[in-house]
A and B are shown apart, each in its own frame.
Chain A
Amino acid sequence: MAILEVKNIEKHFGKTEVLKNISFSLEKGEVLAIIGSSGSGKTTLLRCLNFLEIASSGSIEVNGETVFGKDIKLTDNIMRKNRLHFGMVFQNFNLFPQYTAFENITLAPKLALKNGAETAKKSVEEIEKFGEELLKTVGLFDKRDFYPCQLSGGQQQRVAIARALAMQPDILCFDEPTSALDPELTGEVLRVIKELKGSDRTMIVVTHEMNFARGVADKVIFMADGVVEEIGTPEEVFSNPKSEKTKAFLAKSLENI
């Protein structure tokens, strides 16, 4: 059974249609790269999965459970619970500036524990131990007590990845995770994402890094004007694109290199 099943998602902002009939599915452990030019709807799609935007219609299933659809009444509580299936790493990191790296990672799990949420870890010690493990995973254990303003952009983004992992989401989403970084810092972030793939994580990465999409993804979606223009393995999409729009986009992207 697919871990994620997205069916016929539509999204309008007023009269503007941003997403048109988006459907795809993802198996556990798969990495999906979403590529396409700015304004094609990639980020909006990701935001719909995380409930930062509410899709206008369609349905989203995680592990067979419908988390969004016309029969689901999205109260604040249900939304809070359902969005935890997804983790989110933002383009601008959005770390909490007044907390250290370690506190950024452990804040949400501790609050969940306090609220008695069922997904929560069982004790503060367990949360802190897991937090330290995550810092090691992203290679920043020595920066445990640093504040975000004391970290480089690449380090901040790695903390943000650890923070998203701390809530143990089924699917981890990345919204252009390297777009706000200096070129020499993108490598360390992409390396961390690549390593996560090795640990059997299901991930969706919206990216402009074509080499990364080609090298790491199991599945690639090319979006244009709010529709899935092309979907397939990296070989199919990059080496043998069927759609004219995909061909034009790839030609332009490669031109820049």
Chain B
Amino acid sequence: MNTFFEYFPTVFQALNEGFLQTLKIFIVTLLGALPLGLIISFGSMSKFKPLFAVTKTFVWIIRGTPLMLQLLIIYYGPGIILQENVWGQGETGRFIATIVAFIINYSCYFSEIYRGGIQGVPHGQQEAGQVLGLSKSQIFFKITLLQMIKRIVPPMSNEIITLVKDTSLARIIAFQEVIWAGEAFLKASNGVPSAIWPLFFTGIYYLLFSGILTILFGLIEKKLSYFRS
């Protein structure tokens, strides 16, 4: 037990550093995938057949294969094909490859959520705006946008909480996020079984973080509960 309290400060610091990297993946992925997902959703609703087909196929491939595999292909693929490291050296290179894979993957999932939100607003809302002489942009910003947001908050919160946990997949290309940091103690222990606790302890970080997000999304849902659409 003594060793636990002896090691705790060291472990805590290492895990905090790892979690900071986890947070970095999380935030940068959201910043990239939220807007990119909207663009992809327009493609998947396009009446222009080739664009529609290309987008649908792309979304199918990305959603139909594991994120871990995509991460490996994106990180190692260019090096194998071009005989050149396009991602840059060391931790920075691994980070860039990670967020490229995450942004592509998550924007495809987000695009489907956006599509559901946009197509879920009854067409009658748009027509009611039209007959009152509103312009297309007024109809979008004053009428449909908020109804869309209300519709996408629950599925979006679900997906974003999944993202919190998916960040751990970056471990597969040795990016030093929180799981990697926890595992490092196990590896350095030469097989002492009790050294696994830092890895288990990382669970607390995920729990706390997803807990905070759950509360946050709950507040947004509550804020939008004054109307039903």
Instruction: Report which A residues bind B (CB closer than 8 A).
Output: 50-52, 76, 80-81, 83-84, 86-88, 90, 92, 94-98, 107-108, 111-112, 115, 117, 147-149, 163-164, 167
Q: Tell whether, in the assembled complex, residue B125 and residue A80 are in contact, meaning their CB atoms are under 8 Å apart.
A: no
Tell me, rounded to whole Å, the shortest Cβ–Cβ distance linking A168 to chain B: 11
Contacting pair B125 A163 (CB below 8 A): no
A51 to B, closest residue via Cβ: B130
- Cβ of B64 to closest chain A Cβ, rounded Å: 36
- The A/B interface has a contact count, at CB < 8 Å, of 67
Is B147 an interface position by the 8 A CB rule?
Answer: yes
Instruction: Say whether B138 faces chain A, with CB atoms less than 8 Å apart.
Output: yes
Interface bits B122-135 vs A (CB < 8 Å: 1, else 0): 10110111111111
When chains A and B are docked, how far (Å) is the Cα of A3 from the Cα of B73? Answer: 70
Interface flag for B5 (CB, 8 Å): no
- Most A CB contacts (10 A, CB to CB) among B124, B132, B147, B228 go to B132
Q: Known: A92-B124, A98-B146. Contact between A111 and B131, CB under 8 A? A: no
Are A97 and B133 within 8 A (Cβ)? no
Decide if B133 touches A167 in the complex (CB within 8 Å): yes
- How far apart are the CA atoms of A111 and B146 in the complex, in Å? 17
* Contact between chains at B131 and A88 (CB < 8 Å): yes
Asked if B127 and A98 sit within 8 Å, CB to CB, the answer is no
Q: B149: nearest residue on chain A (CB-CB)?
A: A98
Which B residues are within 8 Å of any A CB, using their own CB?
A: 122, 124-125, 127-136, 138, 142-143, 146-147, 150, 226-229
- Among B125, B128, B130: residue with most chain A CB under 10 A: B128
Query: For A51, what are the chain B residues with a Cβ–Cβ distance below 8 Å?
Result: 130
Q: Which of A52, A98, A112 contacts B227 (CB 8 A)?
A: A98
Q: Which residue of A lies closest to B226 (CB)?
A: A147
Which of A83, A96, A117 contacts B128 (CB under 8 A)? A96
Contact of B131 among A83, A107, A115 (CB under 8 A): A83
Q: A50 CA to B134 CA in the complex, in Å?
A: 13
Chain B contacts for A92, CB-based, 8 A: 122, 124
A78, chain B: closest CB distance, angstroms: 12
With A147-B227, A149-B227 known as contacts, the answer to whether A96 contacts B133 (CB < 8 A) is: no
Which B residue sits closest to A92, measured CB to CB? Answer: B124
Contact B227 A86 (CB under 8 A): no
Q: Which residue of B lies closest to A119 (CB)?
A: B133
Asked if residues A108 and B228 are in contact (CB atoms below 8 Å), the reply is no
- Asked if B229 and A87 sit within 8 Å, CB to CB, the answer is no
| Given A92-B124, A147-B226: A52 in contact with B131 (beta carbons within 8 A) | yes
The smallest beta-carbon distance between B226 and chain A, in angstroms, is 7
Query: Is there an interface contact between A50 and B136, defined as CB atoms closer than 8 Å?
Result: no
Closest to A88 in B: B131
Known A107-B132, A108-B132, A149-B228; 15 more pairs at CB < 8 Å: A50-B130, A50-B131, A76-B136, A80-B134, A81-B133, A86-B131, A96-B128, A96-B143, A97-B147, A97-B229, A98-B229, A108-B129, A108-B134, A115-B135, A167-B133
| Interfacial chain A residues near B146, Cβ < 8 Å | 98
Are A148 and B128 in touch, CB under 8 angstroms?
no
**Which residue on B lies nearest to A50, using beta carbons?**
B131
A108-B133, A148-B227, A149-B228 as given contacts; A90 in contact with B128, CB under 8 Å: yes
The CA-CA distance from A117 to B133 in the complex, in Å, is: 10
Residues of chain A with a CB closer than 8 A to B227's CB: 97-98, 147-149
Contact B133 A84 (CB under 8 A): yes
The 3 tightest CB contacts between A and B, nearest first, are A108-B132, A94-B128, A94-B124
**Cβ–Cβ < 8 Å partners of A148 in chain B:** 227
Per the bound structure, the CA–CA distance linking A94 and B131 in Å amounts to 11
Distance between Cα atoms of A251 and B135 in the complex (Å):
45
**A83 is contacted by which of B125, B133, B142, B150 (Cβ under 8 Å)?**
B133
Whether the pair B138, A111 counts as a contact (CB closer than 8 A) is yes
In the complex, are the beta carbons of B147 and A98 less than 8 A apart? yes
- Beyond A98-B147, A149-B227, is A111–B127 a contact (Cβ under 8 Å)? no
B149–chain A nearest beta-carbon distance, Å: 10
- Give the chain A neighbours of B131 by CB distance below 8 A: 50, 52, 83, 86-88, 164
